[in-house]
Amino acid sequence: MRTIDFTPLFRHSVGFDRLERMLDSAMRHDEGNSYPPYNIEQLGEDRYRITMAVAGFGENDLDVAVNEGTLVVTGRQEDKKDENVAFIHRGIAGRAFERRFQLADHIEVKGGALENGLLHIELERVVPEEKKPRKIEIAGGDKKLVESKAA
């Protein structure tokens, strides 16, 4: 595995430590951890959905939480052993899992639903009014620029 040093990029910047952590995390991504499989869909300009294949898990076996910009989905089943059942082939995974998704700024989790073995998590980008772009009027010609003086 190749390691990239991003230190020169961040030497003259302030507040980009989150970007550095995200890049570092992406470089260390473990390809072997692919359970459960998932899709990320864009449903509109500011709406998204994460769909996870969680066959065999019920609503009480799943937990969805958001903590400091990270969506954490965990699944854990009670160990149900039936001595009268002998599996010839067991292909439906029932192992415990934890899947983490780093949420971008202003992304909120709006809800979730479990149907037909698929867990759907609805997300929406909600940008506060003070963060939205706004038009600044430029004074010119016959308009006077109003200056504010400190008291």
Distance CA 90, CA 108 (A): 37
Q: Based on the structure, what is the number of domains in the chain?
A: 2
- In a shared domain, residues 59 and 103: yes
In a domain, 133, yes or no: no
pLDDT tens digit sequence for 125-146: 988 888 778 888 888 766 555 5
- In a shared domain, residues 42 and 89: yes
Q: Beta strand 118-125 with 107-115: parallel, antiparallel or unpaired? A: antiparallel
Q: Beta strand 97-102 with 70-75: parallel, antiparallel or unpaired? A: antiparallel
In a domain, 139, yes or no: no
pLDDT tens digit sequence for 64-114: 999 988 999 999 987 667 778 888 888 877 789 999 999 988 899 999 999
pLDDT tens digit sequence for 9-39: 554 444 555 555 555 555 555 545 678 999 9
CATH of the domain at 72: 2.60.40.790
- In a shared domain, residues 6 and 21: yes
In a domain, 1, yes or no: yes
Higher pLDDT, 120 or 79: 120
Tokens 């903590």 belong to residue: 67
Distance CA 36, CA 56 (A): 12
